[in-house]
């Protein structure tokens, strides 16, 4: 289910679009070319049963490529003819005819259905417009994201973000695409773009999302990805809100999504993925969970380096060994108890089963384990892991029924 992340950088710098023919006839030809490519994409009929990661035929892959190229060429053409003082609504109305098919057009089987275009702008970056166009594919959607900057009386494309050609639907830049411009940490530098997108999948609501931090193109440099990671998450929400939510933080950015737990009785929890940006270095920081039990669950699933940073320094060596032994093992959480004395500490109980989530090591016997955690500003630190409870932690279960 891994996606191949590809940067489509056409040229060495921001795309300064050539002077276009802005006659109504020329602009309508752009519309017709895009509509024709969309019609050909919708005419693709895939055969065979859908599996989890449905195959994409060569014919579908070819038409997907052609449609995206026609779409970007059409948007470039319209933007080159649009006044730089155009508002978002008028730009969107200008672009919609490219994907508006006649009423008598045949209904799409899978590819290219429900095409859309959305033009947005963030108040703090009024000179940059973001243009997002999505369309349906089997069991999900695919998307193209463009950005244009107002400079010297023209719109200049500074981003083209889309998938490479793909052979299975999980290669699409799909479900729950969300994005946000954030200020650069470097003075006088242009903003950067955080993009999160899910992975289409036919048989489950469990999937992965891709997260990228992109440096936009300038007059002297092409766009590039500064950071990429992926995480497991739940594709759909119960209340029709976005399954991926991105926001700016004082130190960087954050993504929230519902994620799975190692305890199948609890099943899911709120996942928090917060990152600090220092120049071109991006590092995950806390908060990582809504409460102490969820912090333990996240600590048991993160990589070794992150687990060590979230462990108390005096015990980091011993905790690294415990993390290696217990990482990704399934089990059932028990009581979470406040311990006596100061500083404030909590004990989290976990009965590990004889199987592990990663299947990377031999199954072990059941094991009752007690995690001692300490609250810090914005999160927790792991203090100790033991097979014996601490007598000072005998209070009531503060997570009972949760």
Query: What average pLDDT score do residues 119-144 get?
Result: 96
Least-confidence region, from 21-30, 198-207, 251-260: 198-207
Residue 62 has pLDDT above 80, yes or no: yes
C-alpha dihedral, 228 to 232 to 234 to 240, nearest 10°: -10
Residue 70 has pLDDT above 50, yes or no: yes
Omega before residue 195 within 30° of 0, cis: no
Query: What is the pLDDT at residue 356?
Result: 58
Out of 7-16, 31-40, 49-58, the most confident range is 31-40
Q: How far apart are CA 384 and CA 319, in angstroms?
A: 7
Q: How far apart are CA 196 and CA 245, in angstroms?
A: 8
Nearest to 176 by CA among 160, 199, 159: 199
Q: Which two tokens stand for residue 35?
A: 């509509």
* 4: confidence class by pLDDT, cuts 50, 70, 90: very low
Query: What average pLDDT score do residues 254-261 get?
Result: 96
* 203: confidence class by pLDDT, cuts 50, 70, 90: confident
**What is the DSSP code (8-state) at residue 313?**
G
Query: What average pLDDT score do residues 265-276 get?
Result: 96
Query: What average pLDDT score do residues 89-93 get?
Result: 97
Integer CA distances (angstroms), 398 to 165, 216, 267, 335, in order: 50, 47, 19, 7
Q: Which residue has the higher pLDDT, 219 or 311?
A: 311
Integer CA distances (angstroms), 180 to 26, 186, 195, 230, in order: 33, 18, 7, 17
Query: What is the pLDDT at residue 173?
Result: 94
Residue 135 has pLDDT above 50, yes or no: yes
Pairing of strands 367-376, 346-356: antiparallel
Query: What average pLDDT score do residues 25-33 get?
Result: 97
pLDDT tens track for 290-310: 999 999 999 999 999 999 999
Integer CA distances (angstroms), 169 to 50, 141, 202, 225, in order: 11, 9, 9, 22
* 354: confidence class by pLDDT, cuts 50, 70, 90: confident
- From first CA to last CA, the distance across the chain in angstroms is 32
Collect all residues with Cβ–Cβ distance below 8 Å to 72 and sequence separation of at least 6: 144, 146, 160
CA 376, 381, 384 angle in degrees (round to 5)? 140
Query: What is the pLDDT at residue 18?
Result: 54
- Predicted TM-score of the model (pTM): 0.89
Q: Which residue has the higher pLDDT, 359 or 63?
A: 63
């Amino acid at each position: 289910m891994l996606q191949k992340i590809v940067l489509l950088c056409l040229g060495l710098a921001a795309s300064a679009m050539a002077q276009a023919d802005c006659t109504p006839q020329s602009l309508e030809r752009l519309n017709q070319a895009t509509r024709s490519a969309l019609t050909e994409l919708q005419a693709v009929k895939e055969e065979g049963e859908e599996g989890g990661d449905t195959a994409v035929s060569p014919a579908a892959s070819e038409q997907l490529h052609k449609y995206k190229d026609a779409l970007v060429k059409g948007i470039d053409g319209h933007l080159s003819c649009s006044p730089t003082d155009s508002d978002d609504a008028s730009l969107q109305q200008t672009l919609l005819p490219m994907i508006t098919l006649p009423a008598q057009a045949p209904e799409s089987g899978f590819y290219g259905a429900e095409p859309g275009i959305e033009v947005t702008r963030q108040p703090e970056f009024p000179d940059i417009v973001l243009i997002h166009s999505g369309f349906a594919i089997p069991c999900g959607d695919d998307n193209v994201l463009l950005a244009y900057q107002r400079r010297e009386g023209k719109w200049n494309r500074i981003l083209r973000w889309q998938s490479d050609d793909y052979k299975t639907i999980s290669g699409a830049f799909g479900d729950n695409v969300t994005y946000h411009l954030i200020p650069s940490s470097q003075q006088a530098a242009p903003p950067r773009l955080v993009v999160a997108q899910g992975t289409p999948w036919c048989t489950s609501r469990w999937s992965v999302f891709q997260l990228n931090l992109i440096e936009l193109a300038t007059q002297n440099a092409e766009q590039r990805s500064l950071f990429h990671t992926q995480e497991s998450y739940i594709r759909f929400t119960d209340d029709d809100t976005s399954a991926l939510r991105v926001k700016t933080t004082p130190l960087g950015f954050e993504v929230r999504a519902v994620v799975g737990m190692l305890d199948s009785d609890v099943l899911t929890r709120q996942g928090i993925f917060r990152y600090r940006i220092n120049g071109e270095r991006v590092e995950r920081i806390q908060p990582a969970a809504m409460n102490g039990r969820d912090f333990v669950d996240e600590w048991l699933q993160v990589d070794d380096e992150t687990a060590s940073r979230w462990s108390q320094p005096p015990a980091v060596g011993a905790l690294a060994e415990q993390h290696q032994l217990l990482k990704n093992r399934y089990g059932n959480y028990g009581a979470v108890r406040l311990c006596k004395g100061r500083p404030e500490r909590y004990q989290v109980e976990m009965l590990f089963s004889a199987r592990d989530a990663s299947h990377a090591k031999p199954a072990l016997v059941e094991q009752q384990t007690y995690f001692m955690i300490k609250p810090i500003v914005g999160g927790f630190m792991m203090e100790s892991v033991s097979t014996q409870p601490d007598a000072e932690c005998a209070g009531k279960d503060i997570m009972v029924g949760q």
